[in-house]
Amino acid sequence: MTASDRIDLSVIVIAYNEELNLARCFSSLPVGVELIVLDSASTDRTVEIARSFGAQVHQRAFTHFAEQKNACLALATRSWVLAVDADEELSPELRKAISTLIQQGPQASGYTLQRRLVFMGHRMRFGKTQDQPLRLFKRAGAAYVGSIHEEVQVAGEVQKLTGGVLWHYSYRDLSDYFQRFNRYTTAIAERHAKEGHSFHFFGHILRPWIEFVNRYVFRLGFLDGYPGYTYALISSLYAYVKYAKLLEIKRRS
């Protein structure tokens, strides 16, 4: 990379044992960025792969997501930041849109990106598998909040960046899904208990059925075929289990 290739953008990534994802993610990034990886003592080839892409690799014991990302953000030195997860990939169109925006000069303080899930090897289109996370933002004044589903807050206007997709390869397979399923439903139930959330029995019983019909029928999940059916089904179970675990906690206490 020459000085003329450099753009005013830092890419931040937190990682732990991500050797299966890093090359795909890093290969999709714009040219000329500052790449910063905050690792949590990975035991695979994560650090080696990150350094092969020219990343600055730092170490920090994991506490929770907001603290980890704030620590990674603090290492960035350029005016703009792109936050990506190791299991995400920028489409060529999104890579070009980000590079063009940074080079021409952004007008807002932050930009949301269109993100779509890749599930069971299928690029999903329906069934609540798309979102618009805030991932591109001005470094000054930005900070992450939230211990589980963290989000970044910026000082100023947020706009939507059009053009391209951020592909999310969230789960390697169903076994990986259910390992995360168990961790996250427990963490959410414990947080709800600390915050004093009430438990409504009939709402709890009806919630998974409503969730499935919404995703599979009203949000057109059936158009994604078998992966669409599977994702709608296990997502509705997720909604049930996190509140079932909350009920367990309340009964124990």
Choose one of 168, 190, 210: the last residue of a domain: 168
Residue range 103-141, pLDDT digits in tens:
999 999 999 999 999 999 999 999 999 999 999 999 999
CA torsion angle 69 7 142 183 (round to 10): -20
Dist. CA 194–CA 196, nearest whole Å: 5
Residue range 82-92, pLDDT digits in tens:
999 999 999 99
pTM higher than the cut 0.85: yes
> What pLDDT sits at residue 196?
86
Judgement on whether residues 128 and 190 belong to the same structural domain of the protein: no
Confidence of residue 26 (pLDDT cuts 50, 70, 90): very high
Judgement on whether residues 145 and 40 belong to the same structural domain of the protein: yes
Instruction: CATH number of the domain at 48, please.
Output: 3.90.550.10
Choose one of 150, 168, 186: the last residue of a domain: 168
Dist. CA 99–CA 105, nearest whole Å: 10
Q: What is the mean pLDDT of the chain?
A: 94
| Segment (H or E) for 235 | helix 225-252
Judgement on whether residues 121 and 238 belong to the same structural domain of the protein: no
Judgement on whether residues 129 and 180 belong to the same structural domain of the protein: no
> What pLDDT sits at residue 202?
78
Judged against a pLDDT cut of 80, whether residue 148 lies above it is answered with no
Dist. CA 202–CA 219, nearest whole Å: 24
Judgement on whether residues 157 and 46 belong to the same structural domain of the protein: yes
Choose one of 143, 168, 193: the last residue of a domain: 168
Confidence of residue 217 (pLDDT cuts 50, 70, 90): very high
Judgement on whether residues 28 and 12 belong to the same structural domain of the protein: yes
> What pLDDT sits at residue 4?
59
Judgement on whether residues 148 and 224 belong to the same structural domain of the protein: no
Judgement on whether residues 42 and 84 belong to the same structural domain of the protein: yes
> What pLDDT sits at residue 30?
97
Judgement on whether residues 135 and 209 belong to the same structural domain of the protein: no
Judgement on whether residues 89 and 123 belong to the same structural domain of the protein: yes
- Domains in the chain: how many in total? 2
> What pLDDT sits at residue 129?
97
Confidence of residue 240 (pLDDT cuts 50, 70, 90): very high
Confirm if 189 and 245 have CB atoms less than 8 A apart: yes
Judgement on whether residues 161 and 178 belong to the same structural domain of the protein: no
Q: Which domain holds residue 136?
A: 3-168
Confirm if 147 and 191 have CB atoms less than 8 A apart: yes
Q: For the chain, report the end-to-end CA distance as a whole number of angstroms.
A: 59
Judgement on whether residues 136 and 205 belong to the same structural domain of the protein: no
> What pLDDT sits at residue 48?
98
Q: Which residue has the higher pLDDT, 76 or 170?
A: 76
Judged against a pLDDT cut of 70, whether residue 2 lies above it is answered with no
Scanning 58-159, the segments in alpha helix (DSSP H) are 65-73, 92-104
Q: How far is CA 148 from CA 52, 62, 116, 132, in A?
A: 30, 12, 20, 18
Residue range 41-62, pLDDT digits in tens:
999 999 999 999 999 999 999 9
Confidence of residue 203 (pLDDT cuts 50, 70, 90): confident
Dist. CA 36–CA 23, nearest whole Å: 14
Confirm if 137 and 152 have CB atoms less than 8 A apart: yes
Q: At CA 199, angle to CA 198 and CA 203, rounded to 5?
A: 125
Sheet holding 110-112, edge to edge: 56-59, 34-39, 9-15, 80-83, 134-138, 110-112, 158-160
